[in-house]
Amino acid sequence: MPSVIALFAHPDDIEFVAAGTLALLKRKGWEIHMMNLANGCCGSTTTSREETARIRLEESRGAAGHLQGTHYDPIFNDLEVDYTQSALIHLVGILRRAKPTIVLTHAPSDYMEDHMQTCRLAVSAAFAKGVPNYPDPKDSRYVPAYYEDVAIYHAQPHGNRTPLGEMVRPELAIGIDSVIEVKQAMLSEHRSQQAWLQDSQGMNSYVQTMLDLGREVVEIASGADVSNRTVAYKYAEGWRRHLHLGYSAQAIDPLRDALGDHVI
């Protein structure tokens, strides 16, 4: 069974930008792995850090359950995601066990540092999975290397724009209309975030924000207004492929290969 892993920063990041793609891969028979590197402890104005982290872990596990996905617990607090050797070794071990053909992660340039540091760690872990002397084989955390090709795909940045406000056009836009209810259900598991996102980022409805961003991906990718009935899809998730050097012998595109019938 082919395997995909989604490595993102916070609880609900996967649901905002990647859950539709994961749901489609699940329907194609792929094994799903999901990890948020940060625990979401700062995502509340009413509960303590510890209680918020506990709530958000339960919500993340509930979301992963919609895809019968393997869920990995976080290793950082919010706003503390950092490129450390300990974190990299941890992720390399996860990748070597999951053996993904596809790694999904954040855009290299995104609106907050946790996202960009997560991206850096995911990219390095995908490279190091096939380096047998990393970490030191005598390290108790060591997991044997594996050498199959892997492709990394970067999600759309939050708001579909870089931190400087530049629109990001995806290389690959996946129409997700057939799984939009699954994506909504997964995002809705993060019930604690309704008040937080409204207070902190002005999102009156985080589910509606997700839908609006998905519609904009269609517009960006197709150059068409989604109200035009000639557009095949109403909602999409966008991806840009990382350069293959160091990850596969030649350029591969397993996401397009798997979901070509959903590509805009």
The amino acid sitting at 37 is: L
* Confidence (pLDDT) at 125: 98
* Confidence (pLDDT) at 89: 98
Q: How far apart are CA 66 and CA 256, in angstroms?
A: 23
* Confidence (pLDDT) at 11: 96
* Confidence (pLDDT) at 67: 98
* Confidence (pLDDT) at 193: 81
* Confidence (pLDDT) at 224: 63
Q: Which residues in the chain land under pLDDT 70?
A: 196-204, 224-231
Give the C-alpha distances (Å, rounded to integers) separating 122 from 160, 218, 225: 20, 26, 34
- Token duo for residue 163: 């931190």
Extents of the domains making up the chain: 3-262
Beta strands in 151-253 (DSSP E): 151-155, 172-175, 236-241
Displacement of CA 5 from its chain's centroid (Å) = 8
Superfamily of domain 3-262: LmbE-like (3.40.50.10320)
pLDDT 10s digits, 144-174: 999 999 999 999 999 999 999 999 999 999 9
**Model pTM score:** 0.94
Q: Give the DSSP per-residue string, 128-169.
A: HTT-TTSS-TTSTT---------EEEEEPPGGGB-TT--B--
Q: How far apart are CA 54 and CA 203, in angstroms?
A: 23
**Cβ(37)–Cβ(75) under 8 Å?**
yes
* Confidence (pLDDT) at 204: 60
Among candidate residues 34, 33, 28, the one with its CA nearest the CA of residue 3: 33
